[in-house]
Structure 1
Amino acid sequence: MTVPDLSSVQPGQLLARGAGRLLSSYGFVSVEELIPARGLRVDVMGLGPKGEIWVIECKSSRADFCSDHKWEGYLEWCDRFFWAVDEYFPTELLPDHTGLIIADAYGGEVVRMGPETKLAAARRKVLIQKVATTAARRLQGLRDPEMALEWG
């Protein structure tokens, strides 16, 4: 087994990696950088074993958090919303009515469960299809990079 070289990976990507591993431990699958609607791009969207949808926004610094003005728009695209930050992040900046995950490149822990707000069935169906389509295209793009160019 080869150990991946993570030295060139951005801090937010390391958090997303750890958040994905955490989601997997709950039986979820996840897709990074998913676009639920025009103008929005979530860092991690998790799809749970019962069809639940979680959004996780990864913040690597105070400046990264303070410059994010779109996060509240993500709330209508998930059943639960979480921040993923490292152990040194000033968590007092994060709104109390959101979930909190402390993570690193190798995993994470839910410190505060995000409140549940059930999605409408029609929106859930659209999101499940987006997760499936995005994941399938990315996998196909790895096997056939020329196809990935066609999708843009």
Structure 2
Amino acid sequence: MNDTALQSSLLPGQQLARGVSRALRSHDFVAVEELVPTSGLRVDVMGLGPKGEIWIIECKSSRADFASDKKWQGYLEWCDRFFWAVDSDFPTELLPSETGLMIADPYDAEIIRMGAESRLTAPRRKVMVQKFARHAAIRAQAARDPGFISAF
């Protein structure tokens, strides 16, 4: 599948997540999408930095998408920094000023505002790095052998 076909098959939030994940690599972070830090929460993008820092990025494709998100504050205890990723047409004045902001498209993202840092405790960081590693490994194995992984 070529890049244009792949992009057109993605929902708007997935297109933002793709650009965010690409941008994180330029900051020496690796990223996974749709990670569950705890029951009832699923983050759009989680980034893991070279020193073990954890960033959570929530992708919002519209005002309605943002207004319907009632769980985002629950993500704060699972990361060192929290960001919103929106496209260039999003009304950014709706987003809380103490959170980070990225302007994204399917190909890249730019950090406009760094989220406030709130360092995870060592035990919570260990849990999150393990969840990240397992999630990434499952995704990699599913890409290589989709029939096997989906059976579990």
Aligned to 1:8: 9
Of residues 22-31 and 139-148 in structure 1, the stretch that sits farther from structure 2 once superposed is: 139-148
Deviations 1:110-152 (A, max 9, x none): 000001000000010011011110111111111112321233x
Aligned to 1:48: 49
Aligned to 2:115: 114
Aligned to 1:143: 144
Aligned to 1:126: 127
Moved over 2 A (4+): none
TM-score (norm 1): 0.96
TM-score (norm 2): 0.96
Question: Cα distance, 1:4 vs. partner?
Answer: 4.1
Aligned to 2:75: 74
Question: Cα distance, 1:8 vs. partner?
Answer: 2.2
Name the Cα RMSD after superposition.
1.2
Distance 1:40 1:150 in 2: 24
For the pair 1:19 / 2:34, whether they are aligned, the reply is no
What is the SS of the residue equivalent to 1:110?
strand
Deviations 1:35-81 (A, max 9, x none): 00000000000000000000000000000000000000000000000
Mark the runs of 5 or more structure 2 residues left unpaired by the alignment: none
**Same amino acid, percent of matched pairs:** 65
